[in-house]
Structures are given as structure tokens and as C-alpha cells.
Structure 1
């Protein structure tokens, strides 16, 4: 490894640490949302690193939107999957968040955090729509679990917004002035790949937690791996033309694929419950 390459990696790691510290400070403003289990120190550093390695040319301030959007998604996911005790409770949570995204006043810690994101990003209608898609997908997975439904892999992947990747990326692009309309198809393919990557490498933990997972819903590891390869190829083909029109956005998506593939080979974002 050249000294220059090592220096680039060192800068990205330092940027990740700076982002992690900002995330931890921000989470401390909403202590009820981020209990020490599963939001341990490793969680904040992991989330800081994925933003830093996705856009290593950025500053911590420029990464604040993507990092905090990711942080918010984890808080919402925990509340829906592990705190809510009824469908009515989940539906009310989703409806309340969507209303705040569209301009209503917040009524609790989760929506107060969301209102900050909304105000920082200008309440863009595309952002509100993507938030609603993500939360509706999370609610659908909650219903699958409670009913014992076993959707096939196609239906499961049609619900991939539940993992929040596209919502977080859109937050990043709106904050940095990129045109998200140019990359939507590629972003959706990346999201499907990441949904399955997460499932493949965290199936034991998600089985313990009772979370929706392609493997626990009946898909085989070979089938999941083959679908991951298909979505990776599709994403790569869609990213190629973006290198001319939106080079940094294209590189960001490529780095998201690469970073997470390597990361999930060793660890997971969540700490233990």
C-alpha cells in the first residue's frame, strides 16, 4: 500500500470518528430514543464510518444530514420492531411521523428529531414521500411477523424501502445539492442488494430478535446470493452512465456497495439488545 493511499484511508477513518462523535452528541439530546443497548459505542462509530467512506472528500458538517438521517432510521426501526405492542400503535407512529415530515409540529422525541431533519432539508416533497414509503414498509414487515406471513423473495424485495438506505441517501443528496432524480433507479438496486446483504450476514441475530429476514422467511442462502449478484450487476450497469453526469454521486453508490460488503463480513451496525 502506498503512503498516499494509507493517508487517504487515515483521513477517512478520522472523518468517521469525527462523525461518530457528532452522532453520539446528537443522540444524547434524545436519550429515550437511544438506550445503551443496542446503541453502544460501536454503533455510533460504525454509522460514522459508513458516511465517511461513502464520501471521503466531504467534511463532517457536510455529512451531518446523511449521518443523522441514518441515526433517525435506527431509532424508528427499534420503536416499530421492538417497542410497539400493537398494529394500532405502529400505524399511529407512522402517521405521526409522516404528518411531521409534511409540516406538523412534533409531539415527542422521535418526531422532534424528525422535524430537525425536515427543517434542515427544506421539507422537500420527495423526501417526505420517501419517508412515508420507508415507514409503510417497516409497518408491513411488522404485520408479516405478527401474522406469521411468509412473503416470497420478490414480494420481500418490493418492500426493501424498510431498510432505509434510499431514504438516507436522498437526505444526503438533498443536503449536498446533488440531483437525486438522476440516480433513483441505481439507488433502488443498491438498496435491494443491501437489504439482502444484511439478511445474509445477520440472519442469526435477526432470528433472535424476530426481525423480518429473507432467510427466516424461507429463502435459501443460494437463492439470496444469486439475487444479490443480480442486483449488484444491475446497480453497476446503472451507475456507469452516472460517472459522466454525476461522478461523485456514482462514486458514492459504488462505495456504499463496497464498504457494506466488507463491513458485514466482519460486524453489524446494531449492538446487542
Structure 2
């Protein structure tokens, strides 16, 4: 790499860092406003990590364009924490029903709903929202249904699912819903609608890879907190091998989308690369 190449690369890294810092400041304000909703493990380091991830995955976006994805990521963490603290399946189902109502336009009646309404209202001002709101709500429904499924597994004693079924429930990770949130805020709605089925399929495949990558990074914490983890189902070499196969399948799907919707395919490719590399050395969450 020449000095000029290094200079250009460093300038680009600096620009992306400035976007991440702006995103982090926004997240800190929202986290402060919702401090009673969020787990104590959502610390400054985690908020910085979330902001860095969106800035790196969508490097041409401004802080304003990334606000919806940042808020959605924060909301996923809050929702997951609330579900984990629930005392019964009925309570989990009530959380899901309230959230779906807010996503459909209902007034929010609790802090989780108010934060979701912030995301909804941010998207409602965009040209894509009217056409893609049903898709956004459906991805949210899939995420909430997956939370209910995992609740069943966690309370079923030794009746744990096989690995394929567990990974198939990766909607509870929330990445695909955040992806749709980002596309509504930033993408050409006509292009997204034209390639929607392929983009959703690729987004959900990427989400499964991220679920497994997260499990490899968070196994020790999950054992302490009683959360499910792929390493509770099979040994690490099997998870690693499955992850490699799924990663290559994702990359092949994205190559097929590169010409039709290069911005969205590039976003998913960077999400796949950045997040798996991050989980190879770190984890978003602090001590629980």
C-alpha cells in the first residue's frame, strides 16, 4: 500500500469514526432518557460499539441517516432484557402484543413502546414507509415470535432443540428487523420492493450467521445467566463448521444481489464481515 493509499484509507477511517461518535452521543442521550428500561450492562462501551457497527456497516451514511438503525438496535437490547426478566409466558406474550400494536400505529403505553414509537415515527417521515411498513412490522413479529419460542425452550428442562432448529429461530437476534429499519430510512423504496424477497432471504441468512458468531463470543456469559447458546447443543467444532458453511452461503447469496441492488447487498456484506470479525475478539455486552 502506497503512502497515498494509506492517507486515503486513514481519512476514510477518520470520517467513519466521526459518524460513529455522533451516533454514540445520540445513543447516550436516549439511553439516559430510558435508563429504567435498559439493563445496567448497557454501558458507554456497549453504546460505542453499537454506534461503531452502524457507521462501519453503512459507511456512506450520515449520523442522521443512521439514527433509526441506532435506535432500533438499542430497542432490541431493551426488549430482550424485558423478556428475560418476565416471570411467565403470558407476560412475554403481552409484551409482544403491545409492541406489535405500537408498530401498527397504536399509542405507546410503556417505556418499551415509547422507544419503539420513536423508531416508528422516524420511519413514518420517509418515502418508503407506506410501502414497507407491513414488511417492517412482519420482521418485528418474527422477532417477537422467536422470543416466545426461546422462552418455551428455556422453560422446557432438558428438551433443547437441535442446532438447525435453534439457528432457524435466529429472528430473536433482531438484526433483520434492524436491517429493514435501515433500508426504509435510507434506500430507494422502488428498488427495495423490486428485490424484496431476495433481500429478506439474504438478511435472514446473515442474521443466522450473526447469531452463531454471537454465541461463540458470549458462551461464558450465557452459562452464567441461563441463556440458550448453540454451544449448549453441540460442541464448538460443530458450531464453527456450521458457521463457516453458512457464512459462505451468505456470501454467495450476496454476490447474486450485487448487480441488482449494490447498496443493500454491500450493506449486508459489511454487516456479515464486520460483526463476525468483532465477535471473534469482543462482545457488545458488559458484565451482567
Residue number among 46, 50, 57 corresponding to 1:43 in the alignment: 46
Matching of residue 140 in structure 1 with residue 149 in structure 2: yes
1:147, distance to aligned residue in structure 2 (A): 1.6
1:238, distance to aligned residue in structure 2 (A): 0.9
1:246, distance to aligned residue in structure 2 (A): 1.3
What aligned pairs does 1:10-159 form with structure 2 within 5 A after superposition? 10-35=14-39, 37-81=40-84, 83-122=85-124, 124-148=133-157, 149-159=159-169
CA–CA separation in structure 2 for the residues paired with 1:196 and 1:101: 28
Residue number among 240, 243, 250 corresponding to 1:228 in the alignment: 243
The answer to which of 22-31 and 65-74 deviates more is 22-31
- Partner of 2:65, secondary structure, is coil
CA–CA separation in structure 2 for the residues paired with 1:8 and 1:247: 20
Give the match for residue 190 of structure 1.
206
**Aligned-residue RMSD, C-alpha:** 1.4
CA–CA separation in structure 2 for the residues paired with 1:158 and 1:89: 24
CA–CA separation in structure 2 for the residues paired with 1:185 and 1:137: 17
CA–CA separation in structure 2 for the residues paired with 1:38 and 1:197: 20
Aligned residue pair count: 270
The answer to which of 117-126 and 102-111 deviates more is 117-126
CA–CA separation in structure 2 for the residues paired with 1:263 and 1:13: 16
TM-score with structure 1 length normalisation? 0.95
CA–CA separation in structure 1 for the residues paired with 2:37 and 2:185: 24
CA–CA separation in structure 2 for the residues paired with 1:125 and 1:119: 15
1:3, distance to aligned residue in structure 2 (A): 1.3
1:84, distance to aligned residue in structure 2 (A): 0.9
1:120, distance to aligned residue in structure 2 (A): 2.0
CA–CA separation in structure 2 for the residues paired with 1:258 and 1:198: 13
Q: Is the 8 A contact 2:50 2:73 kept in 1?
A: yes
- Partner of 2:268, secondary structure, is helix
1:66, distance to aligned residue in structure 2 (A): 0.8
Deviation string for 1:79-111 (max 9, x for gaps)?
111x21111111111111111111221110000
CA–CA separation in structure 1 for the residues paired with 2:264 and 2:202: 10
CA–CA separation in structure 1 for the residues paired with 2:25 and 2:178: 19
